[in-house]
Amino acid sequence: MKTQLVIAEKPSVGMSLAAVLGAKDRKDGYIEGNGYIVSWCVGHLVGLADAYDYDEKYGKWRREDLPIIPEDWKYTIFKGKDKQFKILHSLMSRKDVASLVCATDAGREGELIFRFVYDLAGCKKPFTRLWISSMEETAIKTGFDNMKDGTEYDSLYHSAMCRAKADWLIGINATRLFSTLYNRTLNVGRVQTPTLAMLAERQDKISGFVKEKYHRVKLDIDGTITAQSKNILDQQDAINIQAECHNQQAVCTSLTKEQKAVSPPKLFDLTALQRESNKLFGYTAQETLNVAQKLYEAKLITYPRTDSRFITSDMAAGIPALTQTAAVLMGGTDASLTINTGQIVNDKKVSDHHAIIPTAEVAKADLSKLADTERNILYLTAARLVCAVGDKHIYEAITAVFECSGYSFTAKGKVTIAEGWKAAERHFTTTPEQKDNEDGGTLPPISEGQTFSDTTAMVTDHYTQPPKAYTEDTLLSAMENAGAADTTDEAERRGLGTPATRAAVIEKLVNGGFIVRKGRQLIPTADGENLIRILPDPLKSPELTAQWENALTLIAKGEADPDSFMRDIEDMARALVDGNETPAEEYKTLFGTPKEAIGLCPRCGGNVLESKKNFHCENRDCQFVMWKTDRFFTSKKKELTKSVATELLKSGKAKVKGLYSEKKDKTYDAVILLADTGGKYVNYRFDIPAK
């Protein structure tokens, strides 16, 4: 009997697929049965090899070795994932496996995850492509009924591979180039560097901001209306106006009423969901993505890594029932819901996946078992669906202009005409209502020409405000829109990064010490601001991403040559190295003076430097570290000193005096050997002479 091998991206997804396909026999790393084998890649299983896999000399970072441009690209299995690759390789090689199904996430990167494994395993068997946006049983069955030949996605694969190789070439060469020039590990990337540049630019504006004081004269009219003057820079002018207007008559000289409508919000894509959850709950983008992924795998929401805010026309028929389910989920009633399905349907604005919406499974799920974070994100998604299909919120904006002693004062207010979707928002959310616009509260009935004699005037002081620091909410928005003007409408990806990767970019900048979180604010560190100072403009601009995405979109459509794109990227890497031979004179000491090397790394040959807590290899990829408080020494009441570490690196052994023996309660001298085995921790042992 011929068997079909289905390869998913994650174990949880593989298990859901197996349940629908009727595969029930659990094995080590896969599930088999009913003519199927279902296995998985545990996320990114295979990737492009590191530079030192091409040549040992690349283990040490040197400017003279740049640019590094592989002729024949190599793959590597990510650390700790060898076992699963061997399982997949073995399954692909089974004689009864006639064909495969690529069931990784439906998109450019999902395609690459499968193809990396397929290529490294040397598999030549035919495969088909599963393309779904929901883990519900009906969606999975429909997906398997409508699979296409895998070769139809070759152009998408070429686009994904070009993206990966281009990021490798620019990332590795730029990182090594500027790290060696400025004697500090400086991570440079096509997405993270422009993101850091936006943060640094905003911080510069905040730091250079000089606040200015201004004044307003506030007029209290009849105890029910508050009208204000324009901004007044000179305080004495404000005092004079206040004195002239106090207890004087005010006349309404103009009354304008304008009906306005606020359309319902769009459904969530991942970025919009991350922004809203950060604004309302303070969740980081990564936290929101992690929670949304759990809800997706639990079949409670649709695929979260999407950049679309619409659904497709084939889904429209199910929206009324789903909206009613969402309303009941939120503790409301479905009796008086307005459901305008058409305003959330747009086939042209759905690429890989439609917007994030709850699934019908929520009606059957025990939501009390969800964590608070999961429940918040699920409720937020459900509430957005109910609001998105609602009527417009309509109100009347009122602007009244009053004249008093020859001066003009303005009051604003509004009157709600139709609550529309705002009624659902107020009912289904427990967070404070966000202001729609700058219009004020209600105003009493006023007529043009009406005179008021009961007036009180006072001066209020105000200050101009600096730009606000980025929060995760506003930074995600800036990343999403960066370079938009330079990106074609057909581009698969817009802005910096993708909805799925923006959270990881922010975390990488935090973990690299280039930005810090202060409450909900994201602030660049001194190293982050200095990094932006030394880099050339092309690496800091989102235009580079826009150019790449335009080209990658054409490649994915089969309208551009991948080899030509890669030649351009290689030329860019060469030009980057040739154009930065020495550090800029004014920036030489930005990251401090170079540290003195105490010896050479026994693993890669790089310099070993001293820090407060350890002696470490300058090459962070090497991970060679000798801790000063290593238990081998502290258990003998000693610390690893610089002189001992230097000798160990030089000759592999060193004589250490004053070691303490708890058993004998006395000190002794001994020769210690450096017994490094290449693992996470460096080992030491005593040099015991042969008898």
The enclosing H or E element of 478 equals helix 472-481
Half-sphere exposure of 302 (CA within 13 A, CB side): 31
Q: Rounded distance, CA 212 to CA 232, Å?
A: 11
Structure tokens at 359: 């699934």
Q: Rounded distance, CA 40 to CA 113, Å?
A: 10
Closest CA to 509 of 468, 479, 547: 479
Half-sphere exposure of 248 (CA within 13 A, CB side): 17
Structure tokens at 557: 């459509």
Distance of CA 594 to the CA centre of its chain: 33
Q: Rounded distance, CA 383 to CA 372, Å?
A: 16
Structure tokens at 464: 């101009």
Query: Residue 271 has what DSSP assignment?
Result: H
470 noted as active-site residue: no
Q: Rounded distance, CA 21 to CA 140, Å?
A: 9
Q: Give the number of other CB atoms < 10 A from CB of residue 74.
A: 11
Q: How far is CA 86 from CA 39, 96, 101, 122, 198, in A?
A: 12, 17, 18, 12, 43
The enclosing H or E element of 476 equals helix 472-481
* 143-152 as b/e: b if 16+ CB within 10 A: bbeeeeebee
* 427-453 as b/e: b if 16+ CB within 10 A: bbbeeeeeeeeebeeebeebeeeeebe
Mode of pairing for the β-strands spanning 666-674 and 653-661: antiparallel
Cis status of the peptide bond prior to 304, with omega within 30 of 0:
no
Structure tokens at 227: 């009208």
Catalytic residue among 30, 118, 283, 303: 303
Q: Rounded distance, CA 671 to CA 280, Å?
A: 61
With tokens 């008093």, the residue in question is 404
Q: Rounded distance, CA 490 to CA 550, Å?
A: 8
Question: What radius of gyration do the chain's Cα atoms show?
Answer: 32
Distance of CA 431 to the CA centre of its chain: 24
Closest CA to 29 of 46, 15, 44: 15
For residues 395 and 422, the answer to whether their CB atoms sit within 8 Å is: no
Q: Which residues have CB under 8 Å from 364's CB, separation 6+? A: none
Q: Rounded distance, CA 143 to CA 127, Å?
A: 15
Q: Rounded distance, CA 329 to CA 112, Å?
A: 38
The backbone torsions φ and ψ at residue 458, rounded to the nearest 5 degrees and listed phi first, read -150, 155
Q: Rounded distance, CA 146 to CA 101, Å?
A: 12
Q: What is the 3-state secondary structure (H, E, C) of 189-208?
A: CCCHHHHHHHHHHHHHHHHC
Q: Which residues have CB under 8 Å from 449's CB, separation 6+? A: 251, 252, 253
Half-sphere exposure of 506 (CA within 13 A, CB side): 30
Residue 84 identity (one-letter amino acid): Q
Q: Rounded distance, CA 204 to CA 202, Å?
A: 5
| Catalytic residue positions, numbered | 303
